[in-house]
């Protein structure tokens, strides 16, 4: 549906999904990552909005694979819109509410190539630190 917006709050083991149609909340439920993939695969094209975090670029790419319009939104912006306690349900709802605001600036996210480069750079940095630690340890023996 064209007017369907899904707000997704990502966590390590569960994903909170708030589905709205024409500004009316249809569901706000918890899913496992596997259930969320099935949800994306079985849903008609819709707008899926993620709060920017460590895994949001990956999930954005997954949503795009299934033909959805995927967007990332700033966590600070979502926090300013949230009206009650910080829970997964409230966060998912706040993501939808933030996405509906006029003139919202969405975040671009990282491409697969950018993520690969970032992983390579982090691995290089880790190797460099380990090399330095090993050299320091050898000096003390």
What pLDDT shows up at residue 109?
76
Which value, in Å, is the radius of gyration of the alpha carbons in the chain? 19
Q: Which of 104, 117, 18, 111 is nearest to 60 (CA)?
A: 111
Residue 15's DSSP bridge partners are 10, 31
What pLDDT shows up at residue 2?
64
Which residue is listed with tokens 């917006």?
A: 5
Candidate CATH numbers 3.30.70.890, 3.40.50.1970, 3.40.50.720, 3.30.420.10; the one for domain 4-109: 3.30.420.10
Q: Report whether pLDDT(1) > 70.
A: no
Angle in degrees, 0-180, between the axes of helices 33-42 and 56-65, rounded to the nearest 10: 30
What pLDDT shows up at residue 94?
92
11-32: per-residue pLDDT in tens? Answer: 888 999 999 988 888 889 999 9
Q: Report whether pLDDT(105) > 90.
A: no
Please give the Cα distance from 92 to 17 (Å, whole number): 6
Please give the Cα distance from 141 to 123 (Å, whole number): 28
Residue 49's DSSP bridge partners are 7, 71
What pLDDT shows up at residue 119?
86
What pLDDT shows up at residue 96?
94
Q: Which long-range contacts (CB under 8 A, 24 or more apart) does 111-116 make?
A: 112/61, 115/57, 115/58
57-84: per-residue pLDDT in tens? Answer: 899 999 999 999 999 999 898 988 888 8
111-127: per-residue pLDDT in tens? Answer: 778 878 988 999 999 99
What pLDDT shows up at residue 107?
85
What SS3 class is residue 39?
helix
125-141: per-residue pLDDT in tens? Answer: 999 999 999 988 888 87
CA 5 vs CA 14, 33, 131: distances in Å: 19, 19, 48
Q: Which of 69, 13, 4 is nearest to 36 (CA)?
A: 13
């Amino acid at each position: 549906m064209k007017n369907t917006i899904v707000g997704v709050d990502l966590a390590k083991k569960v994903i909170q999904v708030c589905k709205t149609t024409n500004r009316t909340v249809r569901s706000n439920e918890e899913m496992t990552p596997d259930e969320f993939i099935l949800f994306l695969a079985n849903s008609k094209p819709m707008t899926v909005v993620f709060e920017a975090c460590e895994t949001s670029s990956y999930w954005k790419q997954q949503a795009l694979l299934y033909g959805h319009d995927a967007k990332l939104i700033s966590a600070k912006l979502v926090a300013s819109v949230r009206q009650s306690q910080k829970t997964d349900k409230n966060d998912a709802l706040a993501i939808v509410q933030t996405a509906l605001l006029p003139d919202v600036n969405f975040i671009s996210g990282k491409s697969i190539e950018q993520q690969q480069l970032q992983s390579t750079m982090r691995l290089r940095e880790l190797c460099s630190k380990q090399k330095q630690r090993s050299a320091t340890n050898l000096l003390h023996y």
